[in-house]
Chain A
Amino acid sequence: MKKTLAVAALMSVAVAGAAEARDQIRIVGSSTVFPFATAVAEEFGKTTSFKTPVIESTGSGGGLKLFCAGVGEQHPDITNASRRIKKSEVEKCAENGISEVTEVKVGYDGIVLSNSNAAPQLDLTKEQIFLALAKTVPSKDGKSLIDNPYSTWAEIDPSLPDVKIEVLGPPPTSGTRDAFTELVLEEACEEFPVIAALEETNKDQFKAVCAGVREDGGYVEAGENDNLIVQKLEANHDALGIFGFSFLDQNGDKLQGSLIGGVAPTFEAISAGDYPVSRSLYFYVKNAHVGTIPGIKEYLAEFTAEKAFGEEGYLADRGLIPMDAAEREAVRNAATNLSPLSM
């Protein structure tokens, strides 16, 4: 009897609670933006009278899907993304009544190819990385496409060390992997005439060759957890790992970033745009929720304040690469005025 009462009480509380208005910002989206968004949320919760926003790490695509599901308090107010919103997603949003979305660019994130300090630092070009990691590569004479024959770095270029190619990186579901494919593999593959020729003749094969990563053990999918890759690199000095710059920043005593195109992944080089493998980070705000859910405007103000995403802000301490002053000013204005995104 007591138990039935308890269940009934719980149920009624649950129903009553669902009817109550939400007074807390809800954020979903990218796991790359997650460490920055949570830092802002915590600061926001501490310094204002609003509740600390709840932030879920769902991945960029998953976040945008939830975000575009509709207007209303059961849907999230903001979604983080480690890539720009796609046209198809904007249309999906519009279909569900979300016509006005504000885009806020947060800053940049570098993707590094790194190995243990105990091993020699590598100086790679994008083409060399492609030859090491792609599933199909041009043959030595450059005339045909063959399955990747390279098993050591020295086979690709005699100047590179004679160690086995073993790269630990994220799985295809990850935004980091998407960006790495786009910024390194796809760019490099156009440099090979035999692949570039495919673009005209066979677009599907061209795409498959450019994004195809070898599955014979040279590239190891190490899961979404970057800390795990860091630990594996410490143990295995021959291996390289692919992950976000903030993890290299935190583990500088154990790891070193490989030079890509002659540029080392340093804070300054990424910020200046010299380091070739960096991407922009964004978040998107549902304008219809501003005013209904308290605190959204203030959250935007906190995120775009100089002390947060500025040159010396607390997000830079966490590994975010800030934009230059003029761009920050433009982003801040757009965020304050909630200027809707048009695509």
Chain B
Amino acid sequence: MTDMASLMEDRAAAKVISDNLRKPVDWDSPKIARNIKKRYAAERRFKMYGLVAIGIALLALCMLATSIGSKGYSAFYQTYVQLEVHFDPAVIDPDGTGDPAVIGRANFDGLIKQSLRDRFPDVTSRSDKRDLYGIVSGGASYDLRERVLENPSLIGQTRTIWLISGDDFDMLNKGYIDPTVAEGDRRLNDQEVSWYNELVEAGAVEKQFHTRFFTSGDSREPELAGIWGAAVGSFYTLLVTLALSFPIGVLAAVYLEEFAPKNRFTQIVEVNINNLAAVPSIVFGLLGLEVYLNVMHLPRSAPVVGGLTLALMTLPTIIIASRAAIKAVPPSIRQAALGLGASPVQTVTHHVLPLAMPGILTGTIIGMAQALGETAPLLMIGMVAFIVDIPGGALDPATVLPVQIYLWADSPERAFVEKTSAAIMVLLAFLVLMNGLAVYLRKKFERKW
């Protein structure tokens, strides 16, 4: 009975629908017009939301770029002071031997101090002299020594030379120290400011492009500190990371996708790989400390240990990206290869891998970029350290770019503020370069079906 009733109801409903369908739609009716208008409005709103989202993202990027750029661009320039230096043979090479070892040991610092005293002869008291010597950086004497070693004929001559200035003077010249505030409240006293003004009037102060920033290692003197040591450290670290994680990651992905039987064991492996990708990086640092340093006794602070640790961190990223890329290769390619008599290994190496390569490379480079920006795991294995010498290999103590940024951000000297921002710019440039490479490789190897 109830069945009958529901059947009748269904029939009635079907009749209403078919009646409606038979009726021609009146496209000009106000109801339809309203409806269409509403749909267009919804469309436009949706587009707007998208635009607003992109706008917010761009604004955030602009704010980041301008705040870093405006603080950091001045670090690419360095103040130099022009002085007349007399290359006194009595100081440099008293016996006239011309022996580079003798010249190398000479007191070039004394020469600079002498020329500063000659430039400002009315400075006599001991503390005033100390202030006076602060005009020129402590590193200038090494520049002078190199100059003389390169060209020994300078000995005995008097030359006008641009010398790198001390960090406080540099800050004054760049406008970071305000000479109008009360004397006790700034790093430079009135006398030092008057020396600066005198030198500026004489045209003996100049900003030059700061090549040293790109060529030297870390230093406690802001004007001598450079990014190169950290960049080389990052390079060796990433080299080790790549050499380990790329082959292992790709082989693991190939096996899991192409050869592994689908059973409980491979499922567990799969779940674990996905979990590992989400493990905080500091955990890998602790693992690295325990395994590489305490058990294997590899040297502390060495890029090889950093690379091994970061390889553990990048492996899951590479495996997941590679598996997705391999999965995206159409099965017809495999079937065709197998059908033509290729062995499974030949199918993979000749057909599947080359076709999956763009995806694999993109995943690898993104993993590498992540490793490039990592500091936390390196803390545990001693790469957060003050290292002056530029590492000559993967076994020398080294630090990496983000660690250098961290160390400079934590230094009391005012001049390190601009260095920090400049180092961030260098790191960002590397990241853009790596991501650009990823885009290029994808475009180059990409194949469409």
Partners in one complex: yes
Are B177 and A253 in contact, with the CB atoms below 8 A?
Answer: yes
Q: A38-B386, A54-B397, A253-B177 are in contact. Are A319 and B187 (CB under 8 A)?
A: no
Q: Which residues of A36-54 are within 8 A (CB) of B?
A: 37-39, 41-42, 45-46, 51-52, 54
Q: Classify the interface of chain B: helix, strand, loop or mixed.
A: loop
Render B188-226 as a binary contact track against A, CB cut-off 8 A, 1 for contact.
000000000000000000000000000000011100000
A26 contacts B by Cβ under 8 Å? yes
A93 to B411, CA, bound (A): 31
In the complex, identify which listed stretch (A148-156, A177-185, A224-232) lies at the interface while the others stay far away.
Answer: A224-232
- In this assembly, does B264 line the interface, its C-beta being within 8 Å of a C-beta of chain A? no
**A6 interfacial by beta-carbon distance below 8 Å:** yes
Q: Is the CB of B412 within 8 A of A227?
A: yes
Q: How far is the CB of A151 from chain B (nearest CB, A)?
A: 31
Measured between C-beta atoms, what is the minimum distance from A58 to chain B in Å?
A: 8
Nearest B residue to A17, CB-CB: B395
Contact A42 B244 (CB under 8 A): no
Q: Check A26–B384 contact: CB distance below 8 A.
A: no
Q: Which of A81-89, A208-216, A244-252 contacts B (4 or more CB under 8 A)?
A: A244-252
Quick one: closest B residue to A37, CB to CB?
B386
Is B246 engaged at the interface, CB distance under 8 Å to the other chain? Answer: yes
Interface residues on B, range: 35 or more
Q: B304 on the interface (CB 8 Å rule)?
A: yes
At the interface with chain B, which of A7-15, A123-131, A288-296, A325-333? A7-15
- Segment of B77-85, B270-278, B291-299, B427-435 engaged in the interface with chain A: B291-299
B421 at the A/B interface (Cβ < 8 Å)? no
Q: Does residue A138 face the partner (Cβ distance < 8 Å to B)?
A: no
Q: Is B185 an interface residue (CB 8 A)?
A: yes
Given the interface pairs A10-B394, A42-B219, A55-B386, the reply to whether A250 lies near B412 with Cβ below 8 Å is: yes
The number of chain A residues with a CB under 8 A from chain B is: 47
Is A99 interfacial (CB-CB < 8 Å)?
Answer: no
CA distance A114 to B6 in the complex (A): 83
Is A57 in the interface zone, CB < 8 Å from B? yes
* CB-based contact A41/B388 at 8 Å: yes
User: Does A18 count as interface, using CB distance less than 8 angstroms?
Assistant: yes
Q: Is A3 an interface residue (CB 8 A)?
A: yes
- Which residues of chain B are near A56, meaning CB under 8 Å? 301, 382, 384-386
Chain B residues, Cβ within 8 Å of A52: 387-389
In the complex, what residues of B have CB within 8 A of residue A24's CB? Answer: 397
Contact A38/B243 with A250-B412, A252-B186 known, Cβ cut-off 8 Å:
no
- Given known pairs A10-B394, A250-B412, the reply for A18 and B185 (CB within 8 Å) is no
Q: Are B412 and A225 in contact (CB under 8 A)?
A: no
Report chain B residues within 8 Å CB of A17. 298-299, 302, 304, 395
Among A28, A38, A57, A244, contact of B220 (Cβ-Cβ < 8 Å):
A38
Given known pairs A252-B184, A252-B185, the reply for A224 and B410 (CB within 8 Å) is yes
B117 within 8 A of A: no
How far apart are the CA atoms of A246 and B243 in the complex, in Å? 44
Say yes or no: is A147 at the interface (Cβ < 8 Å to chain B): no
Residues on A with C-beta less than 8 A from B240 are: 10
B residues 367-409 in Cβ contact with A at 8 Å: 382, 384-389, 393-395, 397, 407, 409
Residues of B within 8 A of A224 (CB): 410
In the complex, A6→B302 CA distance in Å? 18
Identify which of B388, B409, B411 contacts A42 (C-beta below 8 A).
B388
Mask: chain B, 315-355; 1 = CB below 8 Å from A; 0 = not: 00000000000000000000000000000000000000000
- B385 contacts A54, C-beta separation under 8 Å: yes
Measured CA separation A310–B389 after assembly (Å): 27
Contact indicator B301/A226 (Cβ below 8 Å): no
Known: A46-B142, A56-B382. A14 touches B394 (CB 8 A): yes
Q: Which A residues between 247 and 270 are near B, CB-CB below 8 angstroms?
A: 247, 249-253, 256
Cα–Cα distance between A7 and B130 once the two chains are bound (Å): 54
Considering the complex, which residues of chain A in the window 289-328 have a beta carbon less than 8 Å from any beta carbon of chain B?
312, 318-319
Contact assessment for B395 and A14 in the assembled complex, using a CB-CB cutoff below 8 Å:
yes
Does B414 contact A251, Cβ atoms closer than 8 Å?
A: yes
Say yes or no for A340: interface residue by CB 8 A criterion.
Answer: no
With A74-B300, A253-B181 already in contact, the answer to whether A7 and B412 are too (CB < 8 A) is no
B243 x A34 contact (CB < 8 A): no
**Cβ contacts A to B, 5 pairs, < 8 Å:** A3-B246, A7-B244, A13-B393, A74-B297, A253-B185
Closest 7 CB pairs of A and B: A17-B395, A52-B388, A56-B385, A38-B386, A55-B386, A253-B186, A54-B397
